[in-house]
Amino acid sequence: MLQWLSGFPLKKKTIFFRQLSTMINSALSIDRAVATAGIGILPQSQRMAQRIVAGNSLSQCLAAYPHLFSEYEVAIVQTGETSGTLDTQLKVLAGELEQTYRLMQTLSAKMFYPIFVAHFAVFIPPIVLLVKDGPQAYFRVTLGTILPIYLLIGVFTALYRMGSNTGTFRYLIDTTLAWVPVLGGVLKILALTRFVRALAHLVEAGTLPYHAYQVAARACGNSWVRSRLYTSYRQVGQDARLSEWMQQSHLFSPTVLSLVASGEETGQMGPMVAKASELLEMDYQSKVNLIMTLLPVLMLMGVGLLVGFRVYRMMMDTYAPLFQM
């Protein structure tokens, strides 16, 4: 149970994939690369190396530890194995994890002050209760406010980690988040960027379009987006073109669809799909910067409302008897 909740720290995971990419690029065998990259970082690396020697692929070994490696990470590695670009895909994955780690560090720094003020708003205004009614009344009000929030966050995190990556709970979360203003758009563009990037690598490696589309859909890392992509594939049929499957999903902008269609007409599918991936990446970065700007401001506004409500309640409880005289 503790392993499912602790997971694989992002910083260590980034180092693991970066070392793995470097060693595989240096023609080191995959089992030795896994065993070496996991020294001091991943205790399960020795067992993973033994499974590889026994005939399992790297993606199968990663999939055996769903509490350590996400479905997206497994799918990206599988994409590299399928396309013959495993070292490149591991390098891309390490770069994404590094970017995510920097983003989380920046977000944590920006959110520290609003979170501190939020706790201040919970514990300071009711301090009059500590003087007037004693510690029991004070802690009943303050802990009764903050503990349910911590409990809700803890339960949600535990269920998210323990739930299957392709299960109903994960699909429900991804579907719900897809309709959240701003955040839903960012998550959708992130999933589409991953899909198109994986698609470009697979097409350049000579993978058949229908197979490349399905493998790339598994690599998008979002259950809701993956479901839409699969549905469009089934509706249009296997004999259709990539641009037709993508258009039927109603997820892609006209610019992206135009680039893919141009690649199909000119025989330059790989470069054109890669260009579409770059455009989606730029759009994703701009939306992330918007969230990084808005989230602390919204947090402070919420804290301001909480403080105002607390002060109002305190003043009413204190002076209400005077107004009734």
Domains in the chain: boundaries: 2-68, 94-168+290-323, 183-285
CA distance 60 to 222: 20
Whole-number Å distance between alpha carbons of 15 and 19? 6
Model pTM score: 0.71
pLDDT, residue 118, reads 76
Q: How far apart are CA 102 and CA 15, in angstroms?
A: 14
Q: Per this entry, what is the length of the chain?
A: 325
CB 257 within 8 Å of CB 246: yes
Q: Is the pLDDT of residue 281 over 90?
A: no
Which residues are CB-neighbours of 65 under 8 A, at least 6 positions away? 44, 48
Mean local confidence (pLDDT), 195-201: 86
Residue 29's pLDDT band (cuts 50, 70, 90): very high
> CATH for 183-285, among 3.40.1350, 1.10.287, 2.20.25, 1.20.81?
1.20.81
**CB-CB neighbours of 193 under 10 Å:** 23
Give burial (CB, 10 Å; 0-12/13-18/19+) of 150.
exposed
The b-or-e profile of 247-261 (16+ CB within 10 A means b, else e) is bbbebbeeebbebbb
Q: Residue 173 pLDDT > 50, yes or no?
A: yes
Q: At what angle do helices 71-83 and 209-218 cross, to 10 degrees?
A: 150
Does residue 319 register a pLDDT over 80? Answer: no
* Rounded Cα distance, 273 and 277, in Å: 6
Burial of 7 (0-12, 13-18, 19+ CB in 10 A): middle
Tell the residue number behind the tokens 């700007």, with chain if given: 293
